[in-house]
Amino acid sequence: MSVPLFENTLRASRAYYLFGKDMQLGLGHAYMVISPDDEIVKEFFTLVAARMYCVSGRACMECRGCKTVLDGNNPDVFTVNPQGEKIKVQEVKDMVSSVSIKPISGVKAYFVCRADLMTQDAQNKLLKTLEEPPEGVTIFLGVANEAGVLETVKSRCRKLYIDVFDRETVYNALTALHCPAENAAIAAACCEGQLGKARLIAFSPEYGNRYSDALTLLERLKKSRDVLDAESVPSLRSGESEFLKVLTVVLRDITSAKEGAPLFFGAELAGRIERLAEGFSLRALALSVEAVARAQEKLSFSVNPTAVIDGLLFDILEVKYKWR
């Protein structure tokens, strides 16, 4: 485990607050830590483990207790499935048999990554341990998709939902990591409130290009003849469905700019977005977002991508002029 990149943001989260309260009142035997953002669940695990073994009880990341967690040599901390792959019965069997061994410090913690990928058999195997865990043992299940967890398992766990973070929080967290402001703004726009995803986007140049290309596409879209030029947009050619996701974000950002919401972009991107906002009515923007959603659906049925994109651009052009 390494020091969480988003330590401060996570410390301020509701999930961490609730966990802290339990630390004071008495830890439960089993928790589900729920977020679609695997990276952030892992970071949360680290923070929680540090808090449990910190000499001062604050997860200071400096003391002897915190260091054993960060260096991975705390004999009472176990991480299961750190790669987040499908969990087989044997892995759970191994875990269950080690649970009964007495903790050295008096407290033992298991962190299971992507517990929602446990097979049904594996979950059933774990059930008895969740029902009657030995004294001093706490099991944390990281869950991206609650539907993957059996009701019987769920009912044994206290739930900690990790927040979806607002745009400003994500932007500030990324700039604190010395991410360039423009990248941070694009990542904050495209990450759906997930910090781990935001980090991937912020440090991937491809993503920034897609955002800028989506703006270019809309800027060029002035007469129907231009639709045929869509092929010349590089990041569109390299993956239509990823591009359409970003196009949706861009259309929403133009909508926000029209409504006067803060976007955190630098002067250049902000200027482009504002100029586009002048050319579209709110109604046209809403209908364009719907048109993108229809195009995404068509793509998922593997209809010819070029035809789908051309159709989409004609649709956007039409609503743009029809709903001025």
Greatest CA separation found in the chain? 74
Q: Which is nearer to Zn ion, 55 or 104 (CB)?
A: 55
3-state secondary structure of 113: coil
What is the number of the residue whose Cβ is closest to Zn ion? 54
Q: How far is the CB of 55 from Zn ion (least distance, A)?
A: 5
Do 82 and 114 form a contact (C-beta atoms < 8 A)?
Answer: no
Q: Which is nearer to Zn ion, 24 or 300 (CB)?
A: 24
Q: Please give the Cα distance from 74 to 130 (Å, whole number).
A: 22
3-state secondary structure of 79: strand
Please state, as a whole number, how many other Cβ atoms lie within 10 Å of the Cβ of residue 25. Answer: 8
Please state, as a whole number, how many other Cβ atoms lie within 10 Å of the Cβ of residue 187. Answer: 27
Q: How far is the CB of 62 from Zn ion (least distance, A)?
A: 6
Q: Which is nearer to Zn ion, 19 or 243 (CB)?
A: 19
Residues that bind Zn ion (CB under 5 A): 54, 60, 63, 66
Q: How far is the CB of 104 from Zn ion (least distance, A)?
A: 18
Q: How far is the CB of 169 from Zn ion (least distance, A)?
A: 25
3-state secondary structure of 206: helix
Q: Which is nearer to Zn ion, 66 or 190 (CB)?
A: 66
Q: Which is nearer to Zn ion, 54 or 153 (CB)?
A: 54
**E-assigned strand segments in 200-297:** none
Q: How far is the CB of 210 from Zn ion (least distance, A)?
A: 41
